[in-house]
């Protein structure tokens, strides 16, 4: 899957952030963040634990309020929306959680059906079943439809988690450490699925990751976050040509002799 095939609208911003600041007591987590994603674009956000990556996506989705700064998502200022408007916006944002967040007591079919019937109550049983079968086919796991989460591998759980999000056809995808804890082959499969989602569902995505292989394959751009600000945003090669000590250390940690990048 080639990310260069995806059409990116260089005129339309789906996420626009200017001078975003967020603190918790005396701890400054985000300290003047500027960030923009265009329609159809994937940006991989890199940074050590505690640098503010998760806080950033919580603010984008309205789960946290910024202390100051502008945050516009799909043309709306998130912190100025009322609860009804915020819920409507969240239906356009898909979350792929690190833990997959499947309901253990529900089959795969039931896990996918739950958000669909909860948010689109006018669908017939046939339409629901067709949507479930379609999205399972898209993630390559049609055969798991009647299985329980406990019967799935880690990679399969991640794929089903993505499918559960895609069933609502979001415009924006937020991936939290999509390849964490997976073997190299499954990581490549997940990376290619992210590209497939971008192309076929026409999503714009933030991919939070420590994995530079994931960032290189899935991101049209990468953004390195440190001490509450982005040090660099751009193409993978452009960013990692930097002489910045933090960026160089991040690269060296990922690409040691025994941990080489996996090309598609």
Q: How far apart are CA 20 and CA 40, in angstroms?
A: 23
pLDDT at 262: 45
> Is 90 exceeded by the pLDDT of residue 74?
yes
- The rounded percent of the chain whose pLDDT value lies above 90 is 75
> Is 50 exceeded by the pLDDT of residue 133?
yes
Task: State phi, psi for 46 to the nearest 5 degrees.
Answer: -110, 150
Q: Give the residue with greater pLDDT, 5 vs 171.
A: 171
The average confidence (pLDDT) of the chain is 90
What's the whole-number mean pLDDT along residues 114-127? 90
What's the whole-number mean pLDDT along residues 213-241? 94
What's the whole-number mean pLDDT along residues 145-152? 96
Confidence of residue 264 (pLDDT cuts 50, 70, 90): very low
Termini Cα distance of the chain: 8
pTM above 0.85, yes or no: yes
Q: What angle do CA 158, 203, 7 make, to 5 degrees?
A: 130
| CATH fourth-level superfamily of 1-74+174-264 | P-loop containing nucleotide triphosphate hydrolases (3.40.50.300)
> Is 70 exceeded by the pLDDT of residue 3?
no
Please compute, for residue 254, the number of CA atoms within 13 A of its CA located in the half-sphere on the CB side.
19
Domain ranges of the chain: 1-74+174-264, 93-169
């Amino acid at each position: 899957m080639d990310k260069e095939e995806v059409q990116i609208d260089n005129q339309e911003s789906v996420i626009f952030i200017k001078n975003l600041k967020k603190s918790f007591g005396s701890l400054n987590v985000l300290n003047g963040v500027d960030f923009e994603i265009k329609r159809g674009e994937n940006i991989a956000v890199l940074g050590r634990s505690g640098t503010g990556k998760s806080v950033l996506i919580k603010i984008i989705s309205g789960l946290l309020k910024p202390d100051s700064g502008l945050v516009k998502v799909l043309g709306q200022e998130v912190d100025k929306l009322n609860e009804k408007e915020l819920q409507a916006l969240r239906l356009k944002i898909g979350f792929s959680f690190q833990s997959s967040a499947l309901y253990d007591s529900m089959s795969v079919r039931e896990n996918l059906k739950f958000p669909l019937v909860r948010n689109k109550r006018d669908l017939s049983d046939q339409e629901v079943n067709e949507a479930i079968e379609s999205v399972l086919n898209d993630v390559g796991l049609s055969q798991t439809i009647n299985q329980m989460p406990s019967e799935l591998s880690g990679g399969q759980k991640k794929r089903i988690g993505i499918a559960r999000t895609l069933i609502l056809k979001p415009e924006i995808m937020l991936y939290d450490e999509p390849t964490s804890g997976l073997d190299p082959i499954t990581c490549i499969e997940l990376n290619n699925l992210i590209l497939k989602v971008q192309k076929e569902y026409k999503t714009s995505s933030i991919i939070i990751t420590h994995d530079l292989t994931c960032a290189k394959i899935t991101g049209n751009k990468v953004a390195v976050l440190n001490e509450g600000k982005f040090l660099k945003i751009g193409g993978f090669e452009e960013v990692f040509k930097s002489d910045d000590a933090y960026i160089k250390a991040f690269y060296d940690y990922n690409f040691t002799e025994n941990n080489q990048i996996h090309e598609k």
